[in-house]
Amino acid sequence: MTCGARGVLIFDGEGMLRVASPKAKVVDTVGAGDCFTAWLAVGLAQRMTLREAAKRAVAAAALAVTRSGAQNGMPRLEEVEGMKWCQRQSPVGIMV
C-alpha cells in the first residue's frame, strides 16, 4: 500500500514491512503511483526480493515527484541507482 511521502507498506508473506521514502522537494505528484508500480514490477521481474524492489520503486517515485508531468517525471535507471539514498540502507521497519 502506498502512503505518499511516508513510503509504502508491503506484506512479504511473513509480516508487514514499511519502506520509508526519502525526502523530496515536491513539484508534481502526477504519475508518482504509476512510477512506483512500474519500478516495483520491473524489480520483481528482475528477481529482486519484494523488499529490494519496493526500496528501488520508492526511490524512483520520490525522484519522479521532483519533476513536472507524468512522462517527464519518470526517472531513468541510472538516476535511481545513482541516488545516495538508494545506495545506502534505507529505513525498513517490520510491523506486527
Establish if 49 belongs to a structural domain.
Answer: yes
pTM for this prediction: 0.80
Q: Summarize the confidence of residues 26-34 as an average pLDDT.
A: 90
State the pLDDT at residue 85. Answer: 56
State the pLDDT at residue 23. Answer: 87
Query: Which residue range forms the structural domain that includes residue 83?
Result: 22-90
Establish if 40 belongs to a structural domain.
Answer: yes
Answer whether residue 92 shows pLDDT above 70: no
Count of Cβ atoms closer than 10 Å to residue 91 Cβ: 13
Establish if 8 belongs to a structural domain.
Answer: no
How many independent structural domains does the chain possess?
1
Tell me: the pLDDT tens digits for 41-71? 999 999 999 989 999 999 999 999 999 888 8
State the pLDDT at residue 53. Answer: 92
More confident residue, 83 or 33: 33
Active site residues: 34
Establish if 10 belongs to a structural domain.
Answer: no
* Cα dihedral: 43, 6, 62, 28 (round 10): 130
Per the structure block, which three cell numbers stand in for 39? 519500478
